[in-house]
Homo-oligomer: A and B are copies of this chain.
């Protein structure tokens, strides 16, 4: 028989648990214990462990035998501390019952308040507090929450009953209802419960408590919790929740009561300034749900200076203790402050950076800790465009700037529509009165979020910020008609599909599309990134085909170009015809003629890119896509081409037909083109080396690296390298210039990885093309999978991550490991990088660090993300990441 400790007590300055027991007690439980131990006023209670939750699921939803006994023992302890009894008809002790997993999952908190109230104890509470209205209001709230959370009764039944009551009475606010009204409402609520559940609302306080416990454990596998975990990559086990049973304190006992949420620093900007949302005479759920818009904390200071000062003392103590910005929940009951929760405060990327940097300056943390605390994925937000303030957009509303950046998209009014339209490639903005956990998927799919109600700590704000979404909340200027799919702002009506713009930095809502401008980075950011560069050992290059991209990436800290595609250049208006002329040429001579025209264009492109990347390596890839991608498809265009090039229409059509492929991804592309038409490689090698010579002649350092794509056999590379070396020799001798250059290859086919030792005989560098490598390793075409069955695979848990976003370590990663090992067995110091889109994904960057690559390469905007992720990888290796 199990003699495990299932229940941990906290109260009266002492707790069984502590902060380090997060995994066992959940974040909330561990912090309640820690706060208690710190001498902070926390309502006493106890935590049922996450281990019990796992037991519950592993044992067919049953509990350890001795659990109930331990619960009863702990209730007794609380009763002793509080000097009250659970179920006491005169002065009943009431409990809140809350979930709390080891990992914070915003909006996933299940809460039932006022457990212990029944037809009898409610009268005792009324008498004891001398406030029958409060007592009945608490009871009707219990019935509603219990029905909703524990029994799954539709909450609308209760809301409708409440609304009807208000209508009958001709009042607008809940607070306008008096004790008698609420008493009647309780009867109605109990009827609803009986109707829906087929039995009476439970009157035994202990029954209520145990059923609430069941509900909390049961919530781990609710659909929305499962979706949330999937989106955030949290395992079921990590999602196991503890149950926190805690003495009720009341923020709704009148105007000397209230409830609030506070941040020790500003979660939006990071400014070191206390920040709180407070509601007088309200329970905590009212703040978090964002249904009522809270007042500014200054009003609390005015109204209750002692409480305010105590709160400030506590928040400073907590921040110092945890050495990080804290997010607190507190309640004031008839003038007495109670702390209900403290946890690491979620924040914007901007706040992440500012807080980390300022805490180093304040001597609170060291640089490595600062770097470790800024999530790599989020800092891309700092680089995103902002609204051009000179934009003459019509501002139709203002709300709270809850999430960073700016967003433009079509208005939609339900999460479902947001997801559907996003699937079709539309950019949307989700507009709601307020959001709830059911909306998480739709929020994820949207460019931005706009809510009419709620504060900076409402669901929309917390989740939006966490996702890095532009988010404006509490915009009372608008009236949302969700079912009518429209909102009004004054006399303006915005319907589904109308374009809106949001400015998440200032909280403005604008009609139509605004102009966006490039972001500039703060000094804090620059400072942090300097520390990042001191820590990381993995290089970061960028993928770009343009001088502008090269310049931007360089300003973001790119240390070279990892992939410059040469084909995009051919799609420009003035070049495509020449390119097509080359493709449809019937013999080498005609092909060479067209290539001669393309040569100076390519050379000029490369000159500009080399200049932008002066002193840094630039990898240029030879022609990669199947030739038919360049050809026209419509009858009209084909005719035009025939005329332009002076070729018989029927012959041209035959040629186009002959280039058609059943599986172009696996067809005549990559170096297979250069093998079939060596003159193409010749022209490109010439353009690269001639451009390098020209730039070198200006006294600028050029480091060209020519990359051959889609190599599967060593001999392919050998042949292509021969061409490059021959042409380079010619050009350099002719110019009388000495210049170092390299010839290397993409490793983007399984066979290339498996025969990397042979390929390395001819390669001066490797670069993993993880897009193609993923497609071939999985036998899955990205075009055909994404937006089709891939989503089902991820949602169905068949795939743990989208392998086109994060490198699949088991399969693709194994090939990368093999290729690095084999490649370096031939050439010990072989330069190896990655240039697939995965190069900017933090998890992939970590993998690349572990597997010993020299650098990752990613799009310009991902460069800072990759730099930070590279530093994290190094810190993780050294055990310095707190995860």
Contacts and interface: CB of A to CB of B under 8 A. Distances in A.
Contact of A798 (B662, B719, B783, B793): B719
A815 B779 CA distance: 14
B775 A749 contact: no
Contact of A780 (B712, B797, B799, B815): B712
A665 B785 CA distance: 12
Contacts of A754: 777, 810-811, 814-815
Nearest to A711: B779
B811 A781 contact: no
A661 B750 CA distance: 23
A672 B785 CA distance: 10
Contacts of A811: 712, 750-751, 754-755
Given A675-B789, A789-B672, A751 B772 contact: no
A676 interface: yes
A784 interface: yes
A780 B750 contact: no
A815 B758 CA distance: 16
Contacts of A827: none
Nearest to A748: B779
A508 interface: no
A286 B664 CA distance: 53
Interface string A713-730: 101100100000000000
- Most chain B beta-carbon neighbours within 10 Å: one of A663, A664, A754, A814: A663
Interface string A354-393: 0000000000000000000000000000000000000000
| Chain A interface, >50% SS class | helix
A708 interface: no
A665 B780 CA distance: 8
B663 A793 contact: no
Interface in A782-825: 783-785, 788-789, 792-793, 796-799, 808, 810-812, 814-815
A779 B676 contact: no
A695 interface: no
A776 B750 contact: yes
A712 B778 contact: yes
A424 to B, nearest CB: 12
A115 to B, nearest CB: 40
A152 interface: no
A666 interface: yes
A874 to B, nearest CB: 27
A661 B808 contact: no
A781 B783 CA distance: 17
A47 to B, nearest CB: 35
A710 interface: yes
Nearest to A661: B784
Contacts of A712: 778-780, 811
Contact of A749 (B676, B778, B797): B778
Interface in A217-255: none
B799 A713 contact: yes
A668 interface: yes
A784 B668 contact: yes
A784 B667 contact: yes
A161 to B, nearest CB: 38
A675 B716 CA distance: 39
Interface string A292-331: 0000000000000000000000000000000000000000
Interface residues of A, number: 49
Nearest to A797: B715
Contacts of A661: 781, 783-784
Contacts of A719: 798
A668 B665 CA distance: 15
A563 B601 CA distance: 54
A669 B748 CA distance: 23
A778 to B, nearest CB: 5
A792 B675 contact: yes
Given A675-B793, A675-B798, A779 B713 contact: no
Contacts of A799: 713
Nearest to A758: B810
B675 A749 contact: no
Contacts of A668: 784-785, 788-789
A594 B596 CA distance: 59
Contacts of A662: 664-665, 781, 783-784
A431 to B, nearest CB: 30
B715 A779 contact: no
Contacts of A667: 780-781, 784-785
A446 to B, nearest CB: 25
A227 B662 CA distance: 30
- Most chain B beta-carbon neighbours within 10 Å: one of A716, A748, A754, A775: A754
A554 B712 CA distance: 39
A776 to B, nearest CB: 5
Interface in A69-109: none
A781 B666 contact: yes
Interface in A408-465: none
- Most chain B beta-carbon neighbours within 10 Å: one of A676, A792, A797, A811: A811
A789 B715 contact: no
Interface string A739-771: 000000000111100110010000000000000
Given A784-B661, A811-B712, A666 B798 contact: no
Contacts of A814: 754-755
A758 B796 CA distance: 18
Contact of A666 (B663, B713, B750, B808): B663
A780 B716 contact: no
Contacts of A715: 797-798
A479 B815 CA distance: 61
A781 B814 CA distance: 23
Contacts of A748: 779
A785 B664 CA distance: 10
A796 B715 CA distance: 10
Nearest to A783: B662
Contacts of A783: 661-663
Nearest to A670: B779
Interface string A558-597: 0000000000000000000000000000000000000000
A780 B665 CA distance: 8
Nearest to A749: B779
A749 B815 CA distance: 13
Contacts of A778: 712, 749, 751
Nearest to A798: B715
Interface string A852-866: 000000000000000
11 contacts: A661-B781, A661-B783, A672-B789, A675-B796, A719-B798, A749-B778, A749-B779, A750-B779, A750-B815, A751-B777, A772-B779
Interface of A: 661-668, 672, 675-676, 710, 712-713, 715-716, 719, 748-751, 754-755, 758, 772, 775-781, 783-785, 788-789, 792-793, 796-799, 808, 810-812, 814-815
Q: Which 3 A-B pairs have the closest CB atoms?
A: A751-B811, A666-B781, A663-B781
Given A663-B664, A666-B780, 6 more contacts: A663-B666, A665-B779, A710-B779, A750-B776, A750-B815, A755-B810
